[in-house]
Amino acid sequence: MKDETAAFCSGLCLIHCIATPVLLSLGSLGLIGSIFTSEWFHAVLFAPIAILALVSLPSGWKRHRRWPPSVAAFTGLALLLAAMFAPHEAEAILSISGGLLLIGGHLGNRFHCRQMSQGEDVAC
C-alpha cells in the first residue's frame, strides 16, 4: 500500500510539473499560478514524497534484496530535490525525469514484493 500511495503522490507531482507551465503559458492560472509556482508549494509537495520513499523503499529492499527499484526511486528523489534549487530553465526536465523515476522505482518495489509473497498481497 505504501508504494501505491507513493506512486500516486509522485504522479500528482508529475501532473503538477507538466500542467503548470502549460497553464501559465495560456495565462489562465492567476492566483493559483502564483501558488503553484511558489517555493513553499514545491517543498510541501516534496515532503510527503520523500517521507514515503524513505519508508517504503528500504523495507522493500530488506524483503526482496533487489536494488534497481531503490536506485531508480532515490535518483528520482535527488532529481526532484535538485529541481527545487535549479534554474527555472532546468526545473521542468529535472522534475519530470525525477517523477518518472520515482514512479518506476515504487512500482518496481511493489512488483518485487508481490513476487516474493507468491501471489499474496503482502506489503513491504
pLDDT tens digits for 87-103? 988 988 999 999 999 99
- The whole-model pTM stands at 0.79
Phi–psi pair at 119, nearest 5 degrees: 95, -20
Look at 81 and 22; give whichever has higher pLDDT.
81
Residue 120 has what pLDDT? 56
Q: In the chain, where are the structural domains located? A: 2-116
- Count of beta carbons in the 10 Å neighbourhood of residue 3: 29
Using the predicted structure, report yes or no on whether residue 37 has a pLDDT greater than 90.
Answer: no
**Helix 88-116, helix 39-64: angle, nearest 10:** 30
Q: How high does pLDDT run on average in the chain? A: 83
Give the DSSP letter of residue 67: -
* Residue 89 confidence (pLDDT): 85
8-state DSSP, 115: H
User: How far is 59 from 78, CA to CA, in rounded Å?
Assistant: 19
CB pairs under 8 A, 24+ apart, for 89-94?
Answer: 92/17, 92/18, 92/21
Q: Would you state the pLDDT for residue 7? A: 84
Question: What's the maximum distance between 2 C-alpha atoms anywhere in the chain?
Answer: 51
The DSSP H or E segment spanning 68 is: helix 68-85
Q: Which residues of 94-112 are buried (b: 16+ CB within 10 A; e: fewer)?
A: bbbbbbbbbbbbbbbbbeb
